[in-house]
Structure formats: C-alpha cells, structure tokens
Structure 1
Amino acid sequence: MLLRQENPADREAIHAVHLAAFAKHSVPVVEAKLVDELRADGDLIGALSIVAERDGVVVGHVCCSPGRIGEDTKSAVGLGPLGVLPEFHAAGVGSALMHAVLGAADALGHGAVVLLGDPGYYSRFGFVLAERHGITPPVAEWAPHFQVRTLGAHNPSLQGEFRYSPAFDRL
C-alpha cells in the first residue's frame, strides 16, 4: 500500500471512495460532497489530504481542513472525512491513513486535530473527548462523539468552541 498526498487526477476516485464508504451510514452521502466543497472553497489542506493506493487504485482517503478554537484560527484542524472502500475495511488502510495524517499535522506545527466520530475507533489514535481539553462542539448534541488529539504544538490554554470550515455548515 502506498500513502501519498492527493493530486488532481485522484479527485474522481476520492469522490467514489467516500460514496462507497458511507453508502450505508449517510443518506444522502454527504461526505463525498463535503470533500468536493472543501476543495472548491480552498479549505482542503493539500499536505493533509492523503490517499491510500493499492496496485495503482485509490482505496482510501483522509483529509483535514482549517478549524478555529474560539478566536484562534491557526492551531487546530478538523479531520474528516476518513473513507475506505468497503472491500478494504479491517485491512489496516484506515489506520495507516490516520497515522499518516496525524504525523503530517504534527510536522506542520498544528496543535490539535478535532473530529466527530466513534470514540471506540478513534481512541486507538490518542483521541479523547474534546471536553477534557475545554473544547466544545458547534452542536451541543455532538459532545459524546466530539474528540480531539493534541499534538506537539498544543497550547493547553486554548479552549472554547471549535468551528469547522464553512463547507461543514452547508451540509
């Protein structure tokens, strides 16, 4: 498996990955549209948009976009979506993508990665409920699934409401 930054030729394959990955979970499938809109808005962070490729075929994708904690617009990024073709579930693709994007975000100097997802899955990557760090979700009902992974540049005094890039608000 090869992990690399996405390139323009990957766009259709990335869209297809998210359509297939979320077909049973989200009707309509908003995750594929979200990636397209983040890219169109200029909010898809190129160094944090990573594909997993097997035998020349894109089988997974993860991305991050700028986020804001309180008034700070530099320290945190929002992760998601993370998608893997169903036939590659439980094959380590998602884990590899998560390790790659977290390492890249840390190397770029981000202090935190925030996401909305299953704590049972994401805790293995060091994510904890965001409220433990004084970070609140934009929608209060998200709190049981709203998580943060602090990185090397994390500033513990940075607390408040997290806001995703505008494309998330248009879902």
Structure 2
Amino acid sequence: MKYIALLRGINVGGNRKVEMKKLRTLFESLGYTEVSTYINSGNIIFESEDDTKTVLTKITKSFEKIFDFEIPTLVKTEKEMKKIANAIPEGWQNDATQKTDVAYLFPEADSKKIIEELPLKKEFLEIRYMKGAIIWNIKRENLNKSQLTKLISHKLYKGMTIRNVNTARFLAGEKE
C-alpha cells in the first residue's frame, strides 16, 4: 500500500533540522520501498505491506532512537490523501490573489467542531472540514483581517500539520 508520512515542525526557521536523505535511508531501513521525499518540510512517500497503525508505530519508535527531539507524525494512505485533495475546489489555488492551505489533523484535533474553536474571523475566508483535514482559501488582501496568523498561538495548532494546496495535490498523486 502507498503511504504518505507528514512530519510536523521540522526544518522550520532553521530549527529541528532533519535531512531528507537521512529520512529516506531510515524509511528504507524499516523495510519500506519506493521511498521518496517531497520538498524539505517532512513529506515522505513510500510503500509498505504493514497497516497504518504498524507503520506509524515503527516510524515513531525509530524517530525516538535517532532524533533528540519529538517529531509528531501523521501517516495517511494514498486513498485518504486523494480524498482530501479532491475536496479542494479546483479554483482554490496559491497565486498572487489567493492562498489555499490544508491542515491535516492529528486524531485528537479531528472533529467538525475544530472550525468553531479556531480563532479565525471566518467572514474573511472560506474554510471546510472533512475527516482528517480542514481546508481554507483566503484572498491575500484579507490575510491579516482573517487572523489566520494567530493560528500558530492557538492550542489546537499542535494538533495539525499544514501544507499548501500545491503540496497537498502533489502528495495525493496529482502532478503540478
């Protein structure tokens, strides 16, 4: 089965550095095949015969042995990633006028209620929940008005890992 591992909070602002080559080697040492990484923000695509829970356990335990910091990790099947990517309206893009992101949700944050709990001014953006993710689109001119930048200081922020729409579509198997 094809999986995508989404690592949260690595290689951001020069902190918690993890080399993609090291990740590929680590995943191959766990017996995973067709291992590749996408950009430097912790996206690993690979294949395994193991079920999702076993894959996550193996990855988490290996990270604990190798890195001196925690790496929260989500493991999604290709099918789950496609379902999320397919929920993004085609017109939602990242360009000069708009910004679209996908926040993949860890189990503790995965609830329809999450949208109500986030400190966002929803009149300035479109936001949608689906199992496993929330997706938003905002006109760039409304970015500050929406208070989207305040998201990183909210308690629920630790329960998500965010990718831009281009990355989300690529990881789901759609080519850019």
- TM-score, normalised to structure 2's length? 0.31
* Larger Rg computed on CA atoms: 2
TM-score by length of 1: 0.31
